[in-house]
């Protein structure tokens, strides 16, 4: 079995930049010269059509040399995944995304293809479903998937769009408090608070952080800590 090859982004729209602009250089270096086409999964979109979502994503890939095929344009989604050179799973609502992956019976097939070496790109919800479960998503459960179990392409959890903010007068839980609750009842699991503009690249059994921000690591029995792009993250794998 090959080492999984993954590019996991916190977000698609970075402050002051065009849609996926911060990610385009990484798409090119990650996919390489052998990939010509990428299969896009727009299932996380809720308030816009799959066609509209694909039309928004397509230029970001085509501008760096890759054709984008949308999975909903195929009469047989499983065949589309089976024949894909690479797959990109977009953000939106994580519960809707996982629900659709189960409904189309794609979860096991995508996992098998990625474990066999097919490159996987995800952002926001697309990064959430790469984890063992979707329990660290920020989204509301607008639908009930068959299970919270996700692709399990990495052995840790991600919290995309991670924020440290605690606005004055706010009496609800902070993001950190919610993740501390998660590790209290899931003591064996690491959680990566992935800030906007940051991405994780996993390839050849190694993991690296890219971007200009640190990540926040949560693990039971340890104080949350900050790790920079220059720090080793191998313990996560």
Selecting among 124, 127, 198, 219, the annotated active-site residue is 124
C-beta of residue 138 within 8 angstroms of C-beta of residue 160:
yes
Q: Is 124 a catalytic residue?
A: yes
Instruction: Kindly give, in sequence order, each residue whose CB lies less than 8 Å from that of residue 48, ignoring residues fewer than 6 positions away.
Output: none
The DSSP string of 163-221 is -----TT--S--HHHHHHHHHHH-TT--EEEE-TT-EEEEETTEEEEESSS-EEEE-TT
User: Which of 63, 56, 114 shows the shortest CA–CA distance to 84?
Assistant: 114
Continuous H helices in the chain: 24-31, 50-62, 77-83, 94-103, 107-115, 125-128, 175-185
| Burial 149-170, CB ≥16 within 10 A → b, else e | ebbebbebbbbbbbeeeeeeee
Q: Is 161 a catalytic residue?
A: yes
**Distances, alpha carbon 98 to alpha carbons 47, 105, 117, in Å:** 16, 10, 22
Q: Distance between CA atoms of 122 and 6, rounded to whole angstroms?
A: 8
Burial of 179 (0-12, 13-18, 19+ CB in 10 A): buried
Selecting among 22, 54, 139, 198, the annotated active-site residue is 139
Q: Is 170 a catalytic residue?
A: no
Selecting among 72, 161, 220, 231, the annotated active-site residue is 161
Residues marked as catalytic = 124, 139, 161
């Amino acid at each position: 079995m090959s080492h999984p090859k993954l590019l996991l982004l916190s977000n698609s729209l970075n402050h002051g930049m065009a849609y996926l602009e911060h990610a385009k250089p990484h798409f090119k270096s990650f996919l390489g010269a052998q990939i010509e086409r990428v299969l896009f999964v727009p299932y996380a979109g809720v308030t816009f059509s799959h066609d509209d979502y694909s039309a928004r994503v397509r230029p970001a890939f085509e501008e760096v040399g890759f054709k984008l095929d949308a999975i909903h344009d195929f009469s047989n989604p499983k065949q589309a995944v089976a024949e894909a050179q690479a797959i990109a799973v977009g953000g939106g609502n994580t519960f809707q995304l996982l629900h659709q992956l189960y409904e189309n019976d794609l979860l096991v097939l995508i996992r098998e293809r990625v474990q066999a070496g097919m490159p996987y790109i995800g952002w926001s919800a697309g990064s959430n479903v790469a984890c063992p479960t979707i329990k660290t998503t920020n989204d509301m459960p607008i639908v009930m998937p068959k299970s919270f179990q996700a692709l399990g392409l990495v052995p840790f959890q991600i919290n995309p769009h991670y924020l440290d903010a605690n606005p004055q007068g706010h009496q609800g839980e902070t993001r950190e408090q919610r993740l501390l609750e998660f590790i209290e009842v899931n003591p064996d699991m690491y959680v990566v608070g992935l800030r906007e503009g940051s991405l994780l690249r996993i390839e050849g059994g190694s993991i690296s952080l890219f971007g200009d921000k640190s990540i926040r690591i949560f693990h039971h029995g340890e104080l949350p800590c900050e790790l920079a792009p220059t720090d080793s993250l191998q313990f996560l794998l």
